[in-house]
């Protein structure tokens, strides 16, 4: 008799590969009709959408969004308050994940933001990271 040390929980949405869960980003000719196939892909797309949406941009959700593009040309950005804002937004709007770490680095001379977000999926406990550059 085999001994099972751990169990792996699979979302029922991930089983059928012929069904798209949500919209894949960026919206271009490749992703327009493709969609996201797994829950993890959709959570990552939701996270990117949350980071890039300006507060007040989404109808009926005036507090939704971090608005990272707003911070690109700012002279003095309080990184601690930005980390707090990202953490609050994820806790409110993406409850499927738990934030583990956020690293924000600005290059003032080049107007770039390097952002690394490490998070854990609440469904199966797997960890993932989103590392991206915003220009």
CA–CA distance, 25 with 34 (Å, rounded to integer): 10
Q: Is the pLDDT of residue 8 over 60?
A: no
Residue 1, pLDDT > 50, answer: no
Element at 132 (helix H, strand E) = strand 127-134
pTM of model > 0.85: no
**Close Cβ partners of 1 (under 8 Å, ≥ 6 residues apart):** none
Condensed to tens digits (0 to 9), the pLDDT of residues 83-134 reads 899 999 999 999 888 888 888 887 767 777 788 888 888 877 667 776 666 6
């Amino acid at each position: 008799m085999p001994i099972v040390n751990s169990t792996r929980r699979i979302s029922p949405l991930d089983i059928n590969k012929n069904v798209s869960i949500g919209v894949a980003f960026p919206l271009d000719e490749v992703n327009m009709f493709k969609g996201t196939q797994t829950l993890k892909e959709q959570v990552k797309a939701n996270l990117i959408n949350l980071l890039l949406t300006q507060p007040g941009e989404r109808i009926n959700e005036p507090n939704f969004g971090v608005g990272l593009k707003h911070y690109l040309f700012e002279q003095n950005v309080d990184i601690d308050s930005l980390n707090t804002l990202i953490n609050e937004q994820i806790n409110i709007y993406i409850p499927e994940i738990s934030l583990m770490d956020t690293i924000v680095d600005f290059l003032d001379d080049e107007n770039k933001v390097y952002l690394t977000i490490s998070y854990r999926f609440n469904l199966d406990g797997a960890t993932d990271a989103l590392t991206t550059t915003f220009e």
